């Protein structure tokens, strides 16, 4: 699975890779945890030609972010609402795109239970996206500015 994601990174050449945190996201889902592990490995491995050699040249994205939520909602497990979650270092206000995001999310039929559990809080929370800077090309400190786009080089 990591090889498939490495290939996509090399072909699409993104500057930023977004994935779930290892917590499993808003519903602590094991699939979210696994894709986090796969995407994290692929982020690091895409620059290493010896790993998954193929037609696309090696590529090193600039930043890896983990998505975060300010709450947890697990079906039939209210005791998990205080579970450890991924913190965030960046908040994006979606503005008018929040409504479009909510509409798209509502079409994801397997997530209807989450939508019902979150209820009206969903509208408030979907106005923002939160991310943790998990890796960055070059060296840096956690106290440095972690803005998403200001230091991404061209190319």
pLDDT digits (tens, 9 = 90+) for 39-62: 999 999 999 999 999 999 999 999
**To which residue do tokens 């798209």 refer?**
104
- Kindly state the tokens that stand for 124: 């408030």
Phi/psi at 13 (5° precision): 55, 55
65, pLDDT greater than 50: yes
Eight-class DSSP state of 1: -
Residues 69, 82, 33, CA angle at the centre, nearest 5°? 55
pLDDT, position 155: 45
pLDDT, position 10: 98
108, pLDDT greater than 90: no
pLDDT digits (tens, 9 = 90+) for 134-147: 999 888 776 665 45
Q: How confident is the model at residue 104 (pLDDT cuts 50, 70, 90)?
A: confident
What are the Cα distances from residue 100, in Å, to 103, 113, 119?
5, 20, 17
pLDDT digits (tens, 9 = 90+) for 113-136: 767 766 666 667 778 999 999 999
149, pLDDT greater than 70: no
Q: How confident is the model at residue 148 (pLDDT cuts 50, 70, 90)?
A: very low
Q: Is 73 exposed, middle or buried (0-12, 13-18, 19+ CB in 10 A)?
A: buried
DSSP character string of 33-73: HHHHHHHHHHHHHTT-TTSS--SSPP---SEEEEEE-S---
pLDDT digits (tens, 9 = 90+) for 76-99: 888 888 888 889 999 999 998 988
Distance CA 90, CA 96 (A): 19
pLDDT digits (tens, 9 = 90+) for 1-26: 999 999 999 999 999 999 999 998 88
72, pLDDT greater than 70: yes
């Amino acid at each position: 699975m990591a090889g498939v994601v490495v290939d996509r990174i090399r072909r699409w050449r993104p500057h930023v890779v977004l994935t779930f945190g290892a917590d499993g996201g808003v519903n602590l889902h094991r699939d979210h945890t696994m894709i986090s592990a796969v995407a994290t490995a692929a982020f690091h491995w895409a620059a290493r030609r010896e790993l998954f050699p193929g037609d696309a040249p090696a590529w090193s994205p600039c930043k890896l972010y983990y998505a975060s939520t300010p709450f947890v909602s697990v079906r039939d497990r209210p005791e998990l609402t205080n579970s450890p979650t991924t913190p965030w270092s960046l908040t994006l206000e979606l503005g008018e795109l929040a409504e479009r995001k909510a509409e798209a999310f509502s079409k994801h039929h397997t997530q209807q239970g989450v939508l019902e559990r979150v209820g009206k809080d969903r509208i408030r929370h979907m106005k923002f996206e939160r991310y943790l800077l998990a890796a960055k090309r070059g060296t840096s400190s956690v106290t440095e500015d972690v803005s998403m786009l200001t230091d991404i080089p061209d190319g």
